């Protein structure tokens, strides 16, 4: 069972890692943010599977912290994007 959970953890990690190609390709900031978000969820899943495989209970607390702060970076991103677009409108610049 432990081997199966470990393999599943590795698979999920591999999947979201492939998804990280979106950070490289973009094209928009939102796409990059989404790749980071997918890695966040996948990281939580991989962490839980890893914790179950190794029997380390405290890993659940790490996942809980990550889950609680999962939206934090995205919210900061949206706030920053809004400020930036207001600046652009003011100076007449185009992205």
Partner 1 sequence: MNEATLFALCAVLLVGAGLYGLIVNPHPLRKILAFNVVGSGVFLLLGAIARRGAGAGFGGDPVPQALLITGIVVAFSATALAVALLLRLHDAAGSVTLASEVPPKVEPDAGSR
Partner 2 sequence: MMEALNAGLALLLLALAVWTIVARDAFAAVAGFIAYGLLLTLAWVQLSGVDVALTEAAIGGGLTGALLIGAVGRLRDTEATARVERPKALTRALAALVAGAVTVALALCVLTLPDPAPTLAPDVAANIAATGVGNPITAVLLAFRAMDTLLEAIVLVFALIGVWSLAPDRAWGGRPGVRHVADPNGILAYIARVLPPIGIIVGMYIFWAGADHPGGKFQGATILAAMWLLVMMAGLTDAPPISRAWLRIGLVAGPLVFIAIGLAGAVTAGAFLAYPDGYAKPLIIVIELALMPTLALILALLLVGAPQRTIQR
Partner 3 sequence: MSVALNVLTVVAVVAGAFFFLAGTVGLLRFPDTLTRLHALTKADNLGLGLVVLGLLPHVGSVLAGIKLVAIWLLVLLSGAVASQLIARATRQRDPNA
Contacting residues toward partner 2, per CB under 8 A:
3, 6-7, 9-10, 13-14, 17, 20, 23-24, 26, 29, 32-33, 35-36, 39-40, 43, 46-47, 50-51, 56, 58-59, 61-62, 64-66, 68-69, 71-73, 75-81, 83-84, 87, 91, 93
Which of partner 2, partner 3, partner 1, none has residue 90 at its interface (CB below 5 to 8 Å by kind)? partner 1
Given a contact cutoff of 8 angstroms between Cβ atoms, the answer to whether 51 and 39 are in contact is no
47 vs 59: CA distance, rounded Å: 7
**For residues 44, 24, 19 and 61, what is the CA-based torsion angle, rounded to 10 degrees?**
0
């Amino acid at each position: 069972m432990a081997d199966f959970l470990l393999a599943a953890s590795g698979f999920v990690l591999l999947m979201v890692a492939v998804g990280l190609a979106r950070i490289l390709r973009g094209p928009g900031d939102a796409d990059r943010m989404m790749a980071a978000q997918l890695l966040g969820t996948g990281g939580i899943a991989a962490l839980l599977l890893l914790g179950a495989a190794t029997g380390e209970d405290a890993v659940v607390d790490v996942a809980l912290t990550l889950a609680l702060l999962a939206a934090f970076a995205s919210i900061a991103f949206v706030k920053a994007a809004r400020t930036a677009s207001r600046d652009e409108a003011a100076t007449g610049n185009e992205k």
